[in-house]
Amino acid sequence: MTTKRILIFAPLLLTLILLQSYFWVPTYEQQAKGNPERLNQYINASIGDAAILIPILSADSASSEIEGKVFEGLIDRDADLNFRGRLAKTWNIYEEAYFYINAAADIPNLGRLDPQAIVELLQNYKQKANLSPAALKQTLDNIRSISLIPPHTYTVTRSNKTSPTGKKTSEIKVSVSAPARFKLALDEVDQDLFTNLKHLLGDRYFSSFRGQQFLTTQPPIDKELLSFYARELLPAIEHNPVIVFNLRENVKFHDGHIFDAHDVKFTYDAIIDPKNLSPRIADYEPVKEVEVIDPLSVRIVYKRLYSPAIGTWGMGILPEHLLNSQALKAEALKLGQDPADFTMRQSAFKRHPIGCGPFVFREWKSDRFITLDRFDDYWEGPPHYKKYLFRVLPDLLTQEMEFYAGTIDSYGVQPHQVNRLKADPRFQSFSGPSFGYTYIGYNMRRKPFDDRRVRQALSMAIDVNKIIKFLLYNQGERITGPFVKQTDFYNPNIKPVPYDPEGALKLLAEAGWQRNAEGWLERNGQRLQFKLITNNGNDIRKAILAIAQDSWKQIGIDVRTDLLEWSVFIQERVNKMDFDALVLGWSMGIDPDLYQIWHSSQINPNQLNFVSFKNKEADDLIVKIRQEYNHDRQVQYCHRLHQIIADEQPYTFLYVSKWTAILDKRIVIREVDDTAEIVYKKITPTQTGNYTFYFNKWIKLAEMPELTP
């Protein structure tokens, strides 16, 4: 009874406190009058604090917000969603492809089978004006050069960990007598290269190559393991896409150190270093080599086809001189810690980052604020705002009141406020469907969530349409799977899980769950009971918590709920996979690569497949999507993956929300025109709805200016 009273009367008490606070806070005009510098400050608010300010290690939106101001990547996307250079001025993408001489092959119309004869065959056909099929002609035209790598021998050592059979073997020495190999330099990546070359070399030229015959091992090993090594060391064909980035000159880190190609290589090395436990490692695993050509040029070679490759280099680049092994060793010794166990996760850098982005980190008071100052030496020119302040305000009502008072500069409008605030003449508003979705995720490592019937039943017991209607005020849409709904990767043919409590009970009965005398579902004397958690400060997620709990209670499931502070929720529960079920959301990008979130290799602590979803066909499709350059085929794979995940229901997919954000109308874009006159323009969003794209050009004025179209 006491708890119910707290729940009922606490909102009234909170409102009174907030109203007192609101009337006490000076208005924006009063702030600006007493402190003219307020015009040069942008103050943002978040329901949760940042976790760690190192872009290769963080995975939460609050940390990303700060990192996006402090760090810079090699590229990003422009307002039209095309890639544009940032720390990189230009780049070139091409391919180097390889295949071995196959002495067992029978090549049509070739008098002799030797490496030089095959080179001549390819070169002769390159000169032909008319070839059939046309795809073969396109492939040959794309080949810039053909060279021959002579036979060579080498020895490598492999440990028993390499064995796919799980057998305990001693260290193995593998001697390789590699036959002659052909290298094709291509102007562009050609994923159909070897398919098209079959028209000249025969259908079985590549598939009949057996690398095992060129390997010997000491001690001898079984055929299965020998075949495994052959695929690794002597692949019949090899696609090696290459990106060469040409970097900007004289770009400075915030401490004055000049950025160069060594920082790019260091960032890559830090991501793939297992000691750092980077959740981004899956994006860079396909990289074969990162080579510093010179201080302003870096060459990245990939092991295989990898269509999202260019987009991964939007990652914020780290300063090598502050985080390399020598720097970390010195810091560890200063702190009295063992350098062997000390990583950048323990370094002071995680709370005092230094990048080469438009803002310089200044101060972080946990669960209160983070302050950044304008970087006057930013390569593109300093932002107009002198200071960026990130305030942690877990309560949305507090955010709303402070926005009205002018103590924060933007506000994410809640669904019930949209119609009113969009029409308010004091504000400019921006809205659109989110690039992401909200869901309930189930920890499939734990029972009963390892049973698909249980997961499906849990989804069927929740009336999502009512959530959208009454909780979101229709500011949302149903979603059925993991792709961005606005893209064609999303499968529109998959129907939402129906609201069907009776059907849910039938599925649970099939799984062995029956109601006991008290009405609770139980199996083998154990009640169907678990805890559903989410982060504090998000009223909608909090309401979903209550709705799900009540819905499941109606069919006899005993569910407890808990609200946790954001940092505890992410670091202690999500990252450590210490939960039964949770309410959370994903912000997604345009690219359909879902490896980090859904591939079965990503189920370890600090990785993003924290529900531990495993499915062999899904894994294969995820890899195909990453290696597919043909858009139509990529869409086909995505639709099938969508279907598998929808069938398995590792998540109860709830909705994609429609977002609305408001700013004071006096915040505008300031530019200098061709005549050196200052002009002010209205803020307009990009195609994705990103209204902060031109943030570095924003400024807030004391009076509403005349705007240039």
Task: List the beta bridge partners of residue 527.
Answer: 522
Asked if 50 and 62 touch (Cβ cutoff 8 Å), the reply is yes
- Give the bridge partners for 440, in sequence order: 583, 652
Average pLDDT score over residue span 521-536: 96
Beta-strand pair 41-46/387-392: parallel
- Report residue 8's pLDDT band, with 50, 70 and 90 as the boundaries: very low
DSSP per residue, 191-230: TTHHHHHHHHH-TTTTTT--GGGGEEEES---HHHHHHHH
pLDDT band at 30, cuts 50/70/90?
low
Measured CA to CA, the distance from residue 267 to residue 396 in angstroms comes to: 37
pLDDT score of 32 more than 70? no
Distance CA 527, CA 521 (A): 6
More confident residue, 583 or 130: 583
Q: Which amino acid is at 661?
A: A
pLDDT at 17 over 60: no
Whether a cis peptide bond, with omega within 30° of 0, leads into 219 is yes
Q: Which amino acid is at 257?
A: H
Instruction: Return the pLDDT at 131.
Output: 86
pLDDT of res. 6: 30
Whole-angstrom Cα distance, residue 214 to residue 181?
13
Give CA–CA dist 493/639, Å, rounded: 9
DSSP string, 644-666: HHHHH-SEEEEEEEEEEEEEETT
Query: Region 353-382: what's the mean pLDDT?
Result: 97
Q: How far apart are CA 449 and CA 444, in angstroms?
A: 5
pLDDT score at 114: 86
311 is written with which tokens? 């987009």
pLDDT, tens only, 230-242: 999 999 999 999 9
Mean pLDDT of the region 198-219: 93
pLDDT greater than 90 at residue 330 = yes
Query: For residue 5, is pLDDT > 70?
Result: no
Identify the band that residue 34 occupies on the pLDDT scale cut at 50, 70 and 90.
Answer: low
Lowest mean pLDDT among 62-71, 426-435, 500-509: 426-435
Average pLDDT score over the chain = 91
Residue pair 247/261 in contact (Cβ under 8 Å)? The answer is: yes
3 pLDDT higher than 50: no
- Local structure of residue 258 (DSSP, 8 states): B
What is the SS3 assignment for 175?
Answer: strand
Residue 21: pLDDT band (50, 70, 90) is very low
Residues 604, 530: Cα–Cα separation, whole Å: 22
Residue pLDDT, tens place only, 143-195:
999 999 999 999 999 876 544 555 555 789 999 999 999 999 999 999 999 99
Tell which wins on pLDDT, 579 or 11. 579
Average of per-residue pLDDT across 273-301: 95
**pLDDT value at 23 more than 50:** no
Mean pLDDT of 408-427: 88
Sheet-wide strand order for 152-158: 152-158, 172-178, 215-218
What pLDDT score does 371 carry? Answer: 98
Using an 8 Å Cβ cutoff, are 51 and 570 in contact? yes
Residue 501 in this model has a pLDDT that exceeds 90: yes
Mean pLDDT along residues 55-77: 95
The structure tokens listed for 153 are: 């021998």
The predicted model gives 368-396 an average pLDDT of 96
Give kind and range of the element (H or E) at residue 21. helix 2-24
**CA distance between the termini of the chain:** 60
Whether 477 shows a pLDDT value over 80: the answer reads yes
Instruction: State the burial class of residue 506 (Cβ atoms within 10 Å of its Cβ: 0-12, 13-18, 19+).
Output: middle
Q: What is the DSSP letter of 257?
A: P
pLDDT at 355 over 50: yes
Residue 674 near residue 436 (C-beta atoms within 8 A): no
Residue with tokens 């959208």: 468
> Where do the domains of the chain lie, and which CATH numbers do they carry?
93-241 (no CATH), 443-659 (3.10.105.10)
Write out the H or E segment, with its range, that includes residue 547.
helix 539-554
Q: How far apart are CA 583 and CA 534, in angstroms?
A: 5
Average pLDDT over residues 476-498: 95
Distance separating alpha carbons of residues 306 and 298, to the nearest angstrom? 18
What separation in angstroms does the CA of 76 have from each of 228, 326, 407, 589, 601?
A: 39, 31, 31, 12, 27
- Report pLDDT digits (tens) over 444-456: 999 999 999 999 9
Would you give the DSSP letter of residue 561? E
Note the Cα 102 to chain centre separation in Å. 41
At residue 27, the pLDDT reads 53
Integer CA distances (angstroms), 332 to 221, 354, 372, 418, 638, in order: 44, 19, 27, 51, 46
Unique residue bearing structure tokens 């940092």 = 567
Alpha helices, DSSP H only, in 202-336?
Answer: 223-233, 261-272, 281-284, 320-323, 325-335
Three-class SS state of 670: strand
Alpha helices in 147-192 (DSSP H): none
Q: What stretch of H or E contains 458?
A: helix 452-460
Contact assessment for residue 85 and residue 77, using Cβ atoms and an 8 Å cutoff = no
